[in-house]
Amino acid sequence: MRLSFRICPSQASENIREKNPVRLVRKLALKKAQMVSIRFPHHWVLGADTIVVCQGRILGKPKNPRHAEKILRTLNGAWHKVYTGIALVHEKLGSRLVSHEITKVKARRVSPEFIHRFSRKHLDKAGAYSIQDHDDPFIEKIQGNLDNVVGLPRKTLKKLLSLCKLGMDST
């Protein structure tokens, strides 16, 4: 997208009691962006959060390899949805733009041994897998936006950025 940016982790707690996946990712993305925007009030700040939902259960990042193994067993051979919320915040302008995207994903059926070995690989990813990792054989099919499963839906981000530009042109 040819944007200059700096990565500034928000340190925001991801513990929010929200059962609706759309509201959850939107709230978390906004919370992250707002926390960083306090430090950079004259800049647009992007926050994003991704979760996986399978069989009605919200699956975030695994706490440890054992938890990752449990998540992967749940996903094994199953369709699930990946939800990503993104938020753009400009503290000085008082602007907050929030959106989300949903993608359907089918995990490949794999052996318990594979799951056990694989469970140590992606402890920092929602769903305990990483679609952008080219040697990641866990995913079979995707219906929707691959960028969303990676964790940053670029088309949705471009739409929000165009709204930012419109807002800046009118101020």
Catalytic residues: 49
Phi-psi region of 100 (alpha: psi -120 to 50; beta: other; left: phi over 0): beta
Question: 139 and 81 in contact (C-beta within 8 Å)?
Answer: no
Cα separation of 136 and 132, whole Å?
8
